[in-house]
């Protein structure tokens, strides 16, 4: 089943509408969706190495624009839309404590979360709630999201076919590692902040 899902994702990555799908996932992940865009970014680059930089650019721009949507949810719609998202990720009980830290370290929190597997949508929403300076938010988001996606793209572009062979050979183990890291991000969100 995992192999069929991988093959389907690789086929999707080579589809003519793959960039649109990547943009939608990148946008949604920055504001409400739990799955990171890496699940499509990686196979897209492996399927079309000649488009690596375009793929990374689309992913970055859509992610930053999605971050603006998350910021707007926090600033304008927290009670109706933002709070249920924060509750879904299990963060509401520690939200006030986090707000105190956010006042002092907001830009660094955005930059750190934008680069790591930490659930970025919680940070974008919190940035809006805390009225983090929008220019600072945009700069930190653009730098961190761009660094994350372009670094991944550069590694995939450089190692290309060997990394694809490695992924295909160790797909079950890598899938487990990916979901452990994803779950670890949610656990970190719940217990560290």
pLDDT tens-digit profile of 110-162?
888 777 767 788 889 889 988 889 999 999 999 999 998 998 899 888 887 78
Q: What's residue 56's pLDDT? A: 96
Q: What's residue 101's pLDDT? A: 75
Q: Which of the pair, 93 or 144, is modelled with greater confidence?
A: 144
Percent of the chain with pLDDT over 90: 25
Residues 6+ apart with CB under 8 A from 146: 60, 64
Q: What is the pTM of this model?
A: 0.77
**Predicted confidence band of residue 177 (pLDDT cuts 50, 70, 90):** confident
d(CA 154, CA 159): 8
Please state whether 114 falls in left (phi above 0), alpha (psi between -120 and 50) or beta. Answer: alpha
Local structure of residue 58 (DSSP, 8 states): H
Please state whether 133 falls in left (phi above 0), alpha (psi between -120 and 50) or beta. Answer: beta
């Amino acid at each position: 089943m995992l192999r069929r899902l991988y093959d389907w994702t690789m086929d999707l990555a080579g589809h003519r509408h793959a960039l649109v799908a990547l943009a939608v996932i990148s946008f949604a992940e920055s504001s409400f969706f739990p799955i990171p865009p890496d699940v499509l970014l990686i196979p897209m680059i492996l399927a079309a190495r000649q488009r690596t930089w375009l793929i990374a650019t689309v992913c970055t721009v859509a992610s930053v624009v999605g971050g603006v949507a998350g910021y707007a949810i926090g600033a304008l719609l927290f009670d109706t839309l933002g709070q249920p998202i924060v509750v879904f990720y299990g963060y509401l009980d520690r939200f006030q404590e986090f707000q105190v830290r956010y006042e002092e370290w907001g830009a660094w929190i955005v930059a750190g979360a934008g680069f790591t597997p930490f659930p970025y949508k919680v940070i974008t929403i919190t940035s809006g709630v805390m009225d983090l300076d929008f220019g600072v938010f945009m700069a930190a988001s653009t730098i961190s999201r761009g660094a994350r996606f372009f670094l991944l793209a550069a590694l995939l572009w450089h190692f290309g076919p060997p990394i694809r062979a490695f992924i295909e050979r160790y797909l079950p183990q890598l899938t487990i590692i990916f979901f452990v890291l994803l779950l670890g991000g949610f656990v970190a969100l719940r217990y560290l902040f």
